[in-house]
Structure 1
């Protein structure tokens, strides 16, 4: 299995005040817009294309009925 590493050069260190200012911007966005931003940041951190994201290995999970 390939290990993925976050590209730490794509981000910058911030003070708590600077980070708090960003929160005010993101809180005004809809949850769909925030999800798109999170997906974009994950694609950068784990180096995958937005057009071709990695697939989940569905053989590791199993659904069963509770009846």
Structure 2
């Protein structure tokens, strides 16, 4: 297992209220920028290369017709 080290130069000291105020920053971003951030966070959380999400296992799903005749 890899050993990760915290890069302490990437962070700054903040008060609790400053650190908790994420909404005001993200509300200023466009929806495209927020989507890019969400894609990056998903890649980190689920451990895949950014921009290359894993393929869906389509054998786990089935499609059903919702028509009245079927």
Question: Does TM-score exceed 0.5, indicating one fold?
Answer: yes
> Can you give the 5+ residue segments of structure 1 that lack an aligned partner in the other structure?
1-8
If asked which structure has higher relative contact order (CA below 8 Å, sep 6+), I would say 1
Alignment TM-score, normalising by the size of structure 1: 0.61
The number of aligned residues is 56
Alignment TM-score, normalising by the size of structure 2: 0.59
Select the structure that is richer in helix.
1
Larger Rg: 2
Structure 1 residue runs of 4+, over 6 Å off? Answer: none
User: RMSD in angstroms over aligned alpha carbons?
Assistant: 2.7
